[in-house]
Structure 1
Amino acid sequence: MASLKELKTHLRLEALGRRDALDPDWRIEASLRMAGYIGTMDLTHGPVVSGFMPIRSEADLRPSMAALADRGARLCLPVVLDRETIVFRELVRGAPMVSTGFGTSGPGPEAAVLDPDIMLVPLAAFDRRGHRLGYGAGHYDRAIARLHAAGRRPHLIGVAFDCQEVERVPDEVHDVMLAEILTESGLRTFAAPG
């Protein structure tokens, strides 16, 4: 019988393989559809929204972030400080971008550090219950835990393509569920746990 770690690795590799196989032009069109869905998203959870710059075959959130900024959202991007920690620096139009780790870029050290009210979260796989499987480094898990420890409960929205859905993500007691998932098919809300 496979260990939990082996099962997660298998699911992650399969889901990312399906994502990698998507036609790049199709991914662009799908990312633009996502912007249409997120442009109508409820911002009552708060005005500070964290997004991310795409790496590898991820959805491109730049159109979605522009739509949110046009509606008054204050944007921020994750920045890897070390192997354990990410912070969210404010993204301001026209500000210079620097290399921020993992092949992506973001605001430099002069940018304000913000605590997001809404987090658009990258992931490798998700299931219909709202559980997510990240890339394995645990950066977002630790960032969410840090925000919870500070008394903040950001609204978590996973970002993926439909092909990344799996039957069941193996979950553990400490896992935090997504409130919603954004895919090329729309913005889907998950049932509240309990």
Structure 2
Amino acid sequence: MLRRDLLSVRNGLTADDVQEAAAALAERALVLPELAHARTVAAYVSVGAEPGTLALLDALRARGVRVLLPALLPDNDLDWGAYEGEDSLGQVRHGGRMALLEPAGERLGPDAVTSADVVLLPGLAVDARGMRLGRGGGSYDRVLARLERARVDPALVVLLYDTEVVGRVPAEAHDRPVHAVVTPSAVRRFPRGA
């Protein structure tokens, strides 16, 4: 029910709302120390009314950061490819779901994410504990488990709208808290290991 309510609010945003929020998100995210010092960032391309990421991806790439983007696999796991600018993206439809923009070039394998200094995670909400509510497909739960198995500890950052930082989201035993949430108006950090 919470997912449905959050998606309903997102779907009510205008294209101008989304574009304005994307510019503010990029500006705020780019000054995060984690992104300022990152050599490799695993990110994603926003679709529909998701908080926009393209401006941030382009700014990171202009800084010389290696940006990895996901490609959805048939089992909902994620492969990765390098972002080489908006022209390097292809629209891919997975079953009856919405079309995703994915890297059109070489696939680097699901473990490529373990080289990232920062992982930008999509989400619908984050709560006061840093717990993230995703869309429910489990793709990023697999990414987080892969990072844990590899014993790497990149900064985990979620990009959201201001209204999507909430008191509490449902969490399961396998869920892991994020380290920060960036909204158009603020950055909120959560203690590592909380």
- TM-score after normalising by structure 2: 0.86
1:15-54 matches, within 5 Å, as 15-42=6-33, 43=35, 46-54=38-46
SS of 1:120's equivalent in the other structure is: strand
Partners of 2:88 and 2:14 lie apart in 1 by: 30
Secondary structure of the 1:18 match is helix
How far did 1:108 drift?
A: 2.5
Task: Tell me if 1:105 matches 2:107.
Answer: no
> Which among 19, 26, 47 is matched to residue 55 of structure 1?
47
Shift of 1:148: 1.5
Any gaps of 5 or more consecutive residues in structure 1? 1-9
CA distance in 1, matches of 2:128, 2:149: 27
Asked if structure 1 preserves the Cα contact closer than 8 Å seen for 2:30 and 2:36, the reply is no
Note if contact 2:77-2:139 (Cα within 8 Å) is conserved in structure 1. Answer: yes
1:6 match: none
4+ residue segments displaced more than 6 Å = none
Q: Which moved more, 1:44-53 or 1:17-26?
A: 44-53
Task: Give the residue type in structure 2 aligned to 1:49.
Answer: V
The separation in 1 between residues aligned to 2:91 and 2:84, in whole angstroms, is: 16
Equivalent residue, structure 1, for 2:3: 12
Q: Once the 2 structures are TM-superposed, how far is the Cα of residue 44 of structure 1 from its aligned partner?
A: 6.8
1:94 and 1:38 map into 2 onto residues whose CA distance is: 19
**Which amino acid in 1 is paired with 2:187?**
L
Aligned identity (percent) is 30
Q: Which residue of 2 aligns with 1:87?
A: 79
Mapping of residues 70-149 of structure 1, within 5 Å: 70-93=62-85, 96-100=88-92, 101=94, 102-113=98-109, 114-115=112-113, 116-149=116-149
TM-score calculated relative to the size of structure 1: 0.86
Q: How many angstroms apart in 1 are the aligned matches of 2:87 and 2:8?
A: 34
> Any conservation in 2 of the 1:181–1:187 contact (CA below 8 Å)?
yes
How far apart are the structure 2 equivalents of 1:153 and 1:34?
23
Q: CA deviation at 1:24?
A: 2.1
1:90 CA displacement? 1.0
For each residue in 1:39-95, what CA deviation from the matched residue of structure 2 results, as whole angstroms up to 9, or x when unmatched? Answer: 212237741112211222101111111222222211011111222310221112376
C-alpha distance in 1 between matches for 2:184 and 2:38: 24
Q: Is the 8 A contact 1:19 1:163 kept in 2?
A: no
Cα pair distance change 1:94/1:169, threshold 3 Å? closer
Q: CA deviation at 1:117?
A: 2.2
